[in-house]
């Protein structure tokens, strides 16, 4: 049942842990938005990742911040320049309970 809900599972390049992409969509040919679930033990957190042309990954902690970013009302919570930096963040992010 869990496999049907999550569309993709990606192995992190810097860790043997996994994050689950709940949704992935293209905004334009070179821009995409991915919703990922990061599990840590019994806790988990959802992040929204805006991939701008493969050289800028903007991470948002919640949907409202993402919407505000696209309306030029807020900045992202985290920015990364490479897939590896993003993977490292997702592998090591602290999830509050």
Q: Can you give the residue ranges of every domain in the chain?
A: 2-92
DSSP 28-68: ETTEEEEEEEEEETTEEEEEEEEEETTTEEEEESSHHHHHH
Strand 18-28: give its sheet, edge to edge. 8-11, 18-28, 31-40, 43-52, 56-60, 78-80
Give the per-residue pLDDT at 3: 38
pLDDT above 70 covers a percentage of the chain that reads 81
The pLDDT-based confidence of 13 (bands split at 50, 70, 90) is very low
The predicted-structure confidence for 52-86, as pLDDT tens digits, reads as follows 998 899 999 999 999 999 999 999 999 999 989 99
CA–CA gap between residue 31 and residue 27 (Å, rounded): 5
């Amino acid at each position: 049942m869990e496999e049907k809900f999550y569309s993709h599972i990606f192995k992190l390049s810097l860790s043997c842990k996994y994050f689950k992409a709940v949704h992935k969509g293209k905004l334009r040919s070179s821009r995409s938005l991915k919703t990922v679930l990061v599990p840590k033990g019994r806790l988990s957190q959802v992040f929204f990742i805006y991939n701008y042309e493969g050289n800028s990954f903007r991470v948002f902690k919640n949907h409202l911040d993402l919407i505000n970013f696209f309306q030029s009302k807020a900045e992202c919570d985290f920015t990364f320049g490479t897939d590896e930096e993003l993977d490292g963040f997702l592998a090591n992010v602290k999830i509050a309970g």
